[in-house]
Structure 1
Amino acid sequence: MTARVTLDLSDPVPPYEQIRRQLSSLIAVGVLGPGSRLPTVRSLAADLGIAAGTVARAYKELEQSGLIESRRRNGTIVVGPPGAPHGVAGGDAAVMAAVDVLIRSAREAGIRDDTLIDLVRGRLTSKLDP
């Protein structure tokens, strides 16, 4: 699990937000499906070399958005993306295929993942403005 979550301490985005974004994305694309257990706050913090409070804040925000749920004695589990039909964690297959094509094209063009994310975020923002 922690191999999928990484931190870039030179990034101006706070570490808790980097964790939240990455876990949210993994849930959205179905890599972490409903019922998947997340590492404990302490173990993820130790693996990433950061304070437990940083991971706790990311988990708290994910819980408030309805993506995960903390259960006493059962740990923290993924409850799934809000609004997705039951059993369809990854959303529409055609959209997922298009995202895969975009990622492959960007990598073939030598575009870094963080740059691709910034490009997509910028396009989404510009398309939302009237």
Structure 2
Amino acid sequence: MGFWIYMLAMDLLIPLIMTGFGWYFSGRAPRKINPVFGYRTAMSMKNQDTWEFAHRHSGRIWKICGLVLLPVTVVPMLFVIGGDEGTVGTVGGIVCGVQLAVLIGSIFPTERALRKNFDKEGNRRKDGQG
């Protein structure tokens, strides 16, 4: 049972962090563009406008994805409660893999929105079309 609790706690980290940073970033971006903290891609770091837009957009995505991933994490783990370590570890690993796919996949809609709203130099498009 101890290993199951450990795996559940570890699997809950990604959804909880996504939800927390989603709430934070959807309301405010880190003040200055920096190489350490925040949504950092070449396009998001073009200027302050792209930086703030990317954080608001990715924050909304992370907030939703994190909340959706919470039950997606807990339900499979409930099916293996009391199971042997191999089963619990396998299910926990699969859940973590799904979470990582969602986390990495969240980059694509944000980059698409950046390209739609900004040109390659980071200037805001007037029509919002890429």
Q: Which has the higher contact order (CA 8 A, sep 6+)?
A: 2
- The alignment's TM-score, normalised by the length of structure 1, stands at 0.27
Larger helix proportion, structure 1 or 2?
A: 2
Whose radius of gyration is greater, 1 or 2?
Answer: 2
- The alignment's TM-score, normalised by the length of structure 2, stands at 0.27
